Chains A and B, each alone.
Chain A
Amino acid sequence: MYGRRASQLLKEQASCEAGQLTPFNSDAFEQVIKECDEHNLQLRSLIRKIEDQNLDIQTTRNEDHFGAVIHHLSLIRNKRCLMAYMYNRAEIIQSLRWKLGPVLPQEIQEKLNYLEEEYFKNHSTVIESYMSEMDIDLTVDMVPPKDPYIRVRVLDEIGEVCLDDHSISLSKHSLHFLRRTDAEPFISQGLMEEFVE
């Protein structure tokens, strides 16, 4: 059936939890692209056939015309599916920049194709230029603040870091009492967690 493969591509995406990426399905993607070419070939040859019979392409309503319409519509459907697939993924990629910062963890990077990696970097710079033009960092303060300080536990060796005006050694498993705005970037990268007793 025409268009089935493209819809499967989207179904795969829809069955995944919202906001999560599935690994880029390049096999299915390529097959749909190939399908598009085939539809186009069929479409062209049917149009040529109508023209060869010296019929008016605008008004002819024979079997060749309807065949061509079906190929045209299938092509459009495939295009919409491919675009939706790419676009929905791009939206998730945008949201990752907000949630995780400018560097993606390995396991997410593996799910992107190379154009998407490129897009993530490009979009990242767009957000960064806005922030520098406005002179404000929008990637902190993702949740409404309760207390200006929070207690955190370091999950991974971070080492010596300079915060505000003093440097502090963030070694693995150590507990610290930090300003929330200082700790947030580490937390979003998974290097720290809020410590709740």
Chain B
Amino acid sequence: MASSLGLGSGMWSEEAEIDASLLEGTTDVELLKQAWRNEKAAPEILKFQGPLVLRIREQIKLLEETVDEFRENGVDDLVVSLYQMDLDRTLFLLRSYLRIRLQKIEKYTIHISKTDLWNHLSEQEQKFTERCREKMEKHLEQSVLARLPHGYQSIMKQSISSEEDDMVPEPQLDTFVFCKTKDAVGAFQLDDTGDDIVDLVADDLYVIRYKSIKGLVDASQIDLV
């Protein structure tokens, strides 16, 4: 896999010299791969990588054009299929990244739409969430809620006597995740009580509760694997 990505990065570097990410020596594909891994491992939905997705889509378009051009000009089939393979892999990453996010939205529609997570979504994802919610509410309304006695018909609350919304599925933030540090974070407090302090050194693997390192993931100081 690494060799094929190397092939892609070589070609893209020509047109992407302005790209800040390249100055750090990482390609957009690498960044997308990391975003995809994080999204896969995190129990809740992370911030949408808007600019990155845009760049990747442009690069995909460029690659597609290159491949088409090669085909027309009768470039060696092997070369073409190497480029095609590289293209397919990038496309897979992009599709899978978007898909995982939609599936998280499907799972926690209501929770996402009533919390800060709403701001993690792209514009299209927000529309998707609204529509999802509308359809799901209609479905549960017609099949169950409308047939229950008055006072028990809320989708958010068990009955009118509940003070908070106690019927909304939420992601389990307590789960353990595997993660890898990039740079040394130093002494890190795992919980509010301050009893549990871990020294996070650079480039090391940890298994920690997602809840504790949530902030580090957001600040991309740590990668989930």
Contact = CB atoms under 8 A, between A and B. Distances in A.
Interface in A118-176: 118-119, 122-123, 126-127, 129-130, 133-134, 136-138, 140-141, 144-145, 147-149
Contacts of A87: 140, 169
A36 interface: yes
A37 interface: yes
B96 interface: yes
A141 B85 contact: no
Given A76-B152, A141-B92, A144-B92, A98 B144 contact: no
Interface stretch (A15-23, A77-85, A101-109): A77-85
A80 B95 contact: no
A79 B144 contact: yes
Contact of B92 (A90, A115, A145): A145
A134 B53 CA distance: 11
B98 A83 contact: no
Nearest to A40: B149
B132 A83 contact: no
Contacts of A180: 88
B98 A127 contact: no
B149 A36 contact: yes
A91 interface: yes
A86 B152 contact: no
A98 B131 contact: no
A126 B85 contact: no
Contacts of B139: 86, 90, 115-116, 118-119, 122
A90 B152 contact: no
Contacts of B140: 83, 86-87, 90
Given A75-B148, A133-B127, A138-B102, 18 more contacts: A36-B152, A72-B161, A83-B145, A91-B106, A116-B139, A116-B143, A119-B139, A126-B132, A126-B135, A127-B128, A129-B127, A130-B124, A130-B127, A137-B95, A138-B95, A144-B96, A145-B92, A180-B88
Interface of B: 81, 84-85, 88-89, 91-92, 94-96, 98-99, 102-103, 106-107, 124-125, 127-128, 131-132, 135-136, 138-140, 142-145, 147-149, 152, 158-159, 161, 167, 169
29 contacts: A36-B147, A36-B148, A36-B149, A72-B161, A75-B149, A75-B152, A79-B144, A80-B167, A83-B167, A86-B140, A87-B140, A113-B143, A115-B143, A116-B143, A119-B139, A122-B139, A123-B135, A126-B131, A126-B135, A129-B127, A129-B128, A129-B131, A133-B124, A133-B127, A138-B98, A140-B95, A144-B96, A148-B81, A180-B88
Interface of A: 33, 36-37, 39-40, 72, 75-76, 79-80, 82-83, 86-87, 90-91, 94, 98, 113, 115-116, 118-119, 122-123, 126-127, 129-130, 133-134, 136-138, 140-141, 144-145, 147-149, 180-181
